[in-house]
Structure 1
């Protein structure tokens, strides 16, 4: 799952809109929209702000949750 999809999914699970997330994080709503649409890759400080605002870990946002590792 892409970073943008993770941001949108988490935001929707929390029941907040882009404007509210923007207010919580101090990140412009237009930038959040672009992130959710995978138009930009955020910097580390932006990822940290998003994780805090979305009440999740930075690992969740940037980790490759679709990757499956095989033993051996």
Structure 2
């Protein structure tokens, strides 16, 4: 005599418990999107960064070593 099998459904639980996101899961992407949008809308105010040239050389050497 075969035993009955139980199949799982992909429907949400009937008890009303759902997945809740924390507040920052919505706020952080929204803030990042707004910041990027503001940077795109005002490109005339952008200025070149004055960084130490050694930092650029370090990054260039790292890429050379990694992608030989």
TM-score by length of 1: 0.18
Structure with higher Rg: it is 2
TM-score by length of 2: 0.18
